[in-house]
Structure 1
Amino acid sequence: MPGLPRRPRPLDEIDSLLLDLLQADADQTLRALGERVGLSPSAVQRRIAGYKAAGVLRTVAVVDTGAAPALAQALVLLTLAEESPDHHRRIVERLRARPAVQQCYAVSGRWDYAVLLTARSVRELRDLSHELFQRDDNIRRYDTLFVFETVKSGTGVPGELLRG
């Protein structure tokens, strides 16, 4: 059907390397990428277009948090009081709607979600946590862990893990 992403072809070693290179720096020229993976610029362009059409790759700009004059971050672990699909849907929708929620993971074990919040100050984080978590009757417990130092941060997925 037109308009639907096509099913991606199985990825090979060149795809893995190319995806690693793009995740490290998507501004590289097609020629530079081609030299690194042993393909012509037009072949690299076709592969990138294929990744995008299949939904394997999208291009975004990533801002280095170290460039911000002052940021405060916290990891919030939370447990819901009721485990119904409706309660999970509501909290997920609320978290997705907030730009200050940088990342959110449904997790196993004692907690239901791990949420990374970013704000201008610890006070702003406190207010945000209060608004998001304390006012919700369906949150049984939440613990806020303030981030002192980012040891490693990223969104890249090693290309080799994408191969079938």
Structure 2
Amino acid sequence: MNPRQRPWDEIDTRLLDLLQADADQTLRALGDQVGLSPSAVQRRIAGYKAAGVLRTVAVVDAEAAPALAQALVLLALVEESFEHHRRLADRLRAHPAVQQCHALSGAWDYAVLLTARSIGDLRDLGNELFKGDDNIRRYDTMFVLDTVKSGAALPGELLLG
């Protein structure tokens, strides 16, 4: 059954937590932890993927990568039209140095996390992405000094339907 068409149970939330922590675990190891057979685990994972709930990617630990610098950039737009938002979002989505981009409520319209080899490269990247855009009223760049927590895992209990 499609996970988006049925309420999730405790096994779904636990299985998704386990997969987000380490997707390289064997089906048997996952099954032992949630009380299912390997084939039942495989069916659930296939259902998550078919429904677009889960995709498998490799995550590189930025702390382990050599000589990277990051900055959080806050953007405020001049005009709030759908077309301006779409063009900016498309440009940011396509740039490989943009690690995350979030549309915001309040005084700022976007928060953008950039990664580059150095502070100088981040400055140049900010100028490339934001300085020539007449629809960006203001942008503030804050360099990341230390990463306290980083991740993309969603807590399983929040996913329970």
After TM superposition, the score normalised by the length of structure 2 is 0.97
Residue 141 of structure 1 pairs with residue 133 of structure 2? no
Does structure 2 conserve the Cα–Cα contact (< 8 Å) formed by 1:8 and 1:56? no
Deviations 1:115-147 (A, max 9, x none): 000000001000000011111110000000100
Partner residue, 1:41: 38
Partner residue, 1:24: 21
Does structure 2 conserve the Cα–Cα contact (< 8 Å) formed by 1:73 and 1:118? yes
Partner residue, 1:60: 57
Structure 2 stretches of 5 or more lacking a match? none
Matches of 2:21 and 2:135 in 1, distance apart? 40
In the TM superposition, what is the alpha-carbon distance from 1:69 to its structure 2 partner? 1.1
Counting aligned pairs with the same residue, the percent is: 78
Partner residue, 2:127: 130
Structure 1 stretches of 5 or more lacking a match? none
Partner of 1:65, secondary structure, is coil
Partner residue, 1:118: 115
Residue 69 of structure 1 pairs with residue 66 of structure 2? yes
Partner of 1:67, secondary structure, is coil
**Segments ≥4 residues shifted beyond 3 Å:** 5-8
In the TM superposition, what is the alpha-carbon distance from 1:67 to its structure 2 partner? 1.4
> Which of 81, 97, 102 does residue 100 from structure 1 map onto?
97
In the TM superposition, what is the alpha-carbon distance from 1:160 to its structure 2 partner? 1.2
Partner residue, 2:88: 91
Query: How many residue pairs get matched?
Result: 160
- Please provide the CA RMSD for this pair: 1.1
After TM superposition, the score normalised by the length of structure 1 is 0.95
